[in-house]
Amino acid sequence: MNIRSALATCAVAALVLFCPAARPEAQAQIAAPITFDQTLLDRWLEVFPAVMRTTKPDATPMSEQAGQEFIERICAKAGFASYDQCAEVFFYAGMIMSACDRKSRSFRDPIKLMRRQIAKIEANAALSPVQKGKATAKFKEVVARFPDNIPEAHLRLMTANRDRIFQIVIHAGADLSAQPDGWENW
């Protein structure tokens, strides 16, 4: 599994499986900005490997209830105030990770990037309205939950912890062997 796939898998898993408020039947906007600081980032890094292990092909399948109980336990052990806080931070940090800029070795705002991608797809005259709808649906779903851009302070926090984040991601099982220059250039 490459790093982008691992991050996308974890962000989607957090959005759909671990956060009841984020399920399609209960879409709600995340308060902007969410609380996100070094303490919550540290807790996220403690939870990340355990969640990552549940997404591997050889992982023992869990029912939704068993999965939620497992996540509640690891979130409580990591010090999150609640299951919902853990799920929100997990999704949020994972989403920011998906926008890592290899050249600048920093994190960009994924919401801005998604908005640009939506505009690019919608401007593509070669695509039918149905194709455009399918191509933009997931982006629009995420963007709708974030009325504002990601705060610069959150991007700086992730960038300041970049090396540590990627060491934990790799240790959790993300395979960067397909990357020509290894994780250091992520």
* Helix-then-strand count for the chain, H and E: 8, 2
Residue 141 has pLDDT above 70, yes or no: yes
pTM (2 d.p.): 0.74
Question: Can you tell me which residue has the tokens 């990340």?
Answer: 48
| Residue 18 CB-density burial (10 A; 0-12 exposed, 13-18 middle, 19+ buried) | buried
- pLDDT of 17 reads 41
pLDDT confidence tier of residue 175, bands split at 50, 70 and 90? low
The pLDDT score that the predictor gives to residue 33 is 57
**Of residues 175 and 131, which shows the higher confidence score?**
131
Q: Which two three-digit tokens encode residue 96?
A: 């920011």
Q: Which two tokens stand for residue 181?
A: 């220059």
d(C-alpha 17, C-alpha 19), whole Å: 6
Residues sharing a CB contact under 8 Å with residue 135, sequence separation 6 or more, in sequence order? 121, 127
Q: How confident is the model at residue 14 (pLDDT cuts 50, 70, 90)?
A: very low
- Residues forming a β-bridge with 106: 101
Q: In 3D, which of 109, 82, 84, 74 has the Cα closest to residue 30?
A: 84
When comparing pLDDT for 173 and 170, which is higher? 170
C-alpha angle 62/65/70, rounded to 5°?
A: 70
Find, among 101, 75, 100, the residue nearest to 88 by Cα: 75
% of residues, the chain, pLDDT over 90: 43
Question: In this structure, which amino acid lies at residue 137?
Answer: A
**Domain regions of the chain by residue span:** 3-108+150-185, 110-148
Write down the mean pLDDT value for the chain. 79
Average pLDDT, integer, range 6-12: 47
What's residue 58's pLDDT? 84
pLDDT band at 157 (very low <50, low <70, confident <90, very high): very high
* Average pLDDT for 52-69: 84
Give the rounded distance of the alpha carbon of 163 from its chain centre.
Answer: 17
